[in-house]
Homo-oligomer: A and B are copies of this chain.
């Protein structure tokens, strides 16, 4: 059999996982899916994703691909995986792609959304899907602060330790918020993201929403290129990978 390259789109609830990336100890999304593909095809496979997501982070439309010699067609792969996977991972699409397609190298942009529940009482149904902040946040100040981030910048101030050898310059094409009932949702789209970049940005923007910082401070923090200047890191459970563009 010839080898095929199969692209999967999927959504997952990251609550119960130690993130995307396969690891020795701890259940990961990559690990669970690779195991089920192996069961279906009889071959060990290696999934390549658009990027890893951290423990507790969710995906509405993650993209990954794998090379297989199995003759099972993509629709059967999708149906078979969905029948075997736990309910917190769902394959939403499967298709053949050219052999040169690579889920990570070919990314043009990724869009993340961060969800904050901002009201007096918490919501039992959103506890794993939002950052609950009781104190009212100033949305205008947050919008102004976000606008400072669009464009091409060195985002070192918003990069967590552990990826220092990677070029820290990224182009943010969208950084805005919208507010469906009692939530503040922050959208950030860029050609790529540094480690914990969205969560570090959101933590800092929330400081602006609390009146501790303003848009000028955000500009200063960005220009400092120093992680110690920015605010705290927002918790994982509010973060969603919304889509990946190739």
Chain B residues contacting A121 (CB-CB under 8 Å) are: 90, 92
| Copies assembled | 2
| CB-contacts of A50-93 with B (<8 A) | 58, 82, 87-90, 92
Is A122 interfacial (CB 8 A cutoff)? yes
Determine the chain B residues whose CB is within 8 A of the CB of A220 once the complex forms. none
Interface residue count for A (Cβ, 8 Å)? 17
Once the chains are docked, how many angstroms separate the CA of A127 from the CA of B82? 13
Q: In the complex, A121 Cα to B91 Cα: how many Å? A: 9
Q: Is A161 an interface residue (CB 8 A)?
A: no
- Kindly identify which residue among B11, B58, B123 contacts A90, using a CB–CB cutoff of 8 Å: B123
Question: Is the CB of A112 closer than 8 A to any CB of chain B?
Answer: no
Quick one: which of B82, B122, B124 contacts A122, CB cutoff 8 A?
B82
A12 at the interface (CB under 8 A from B): yes
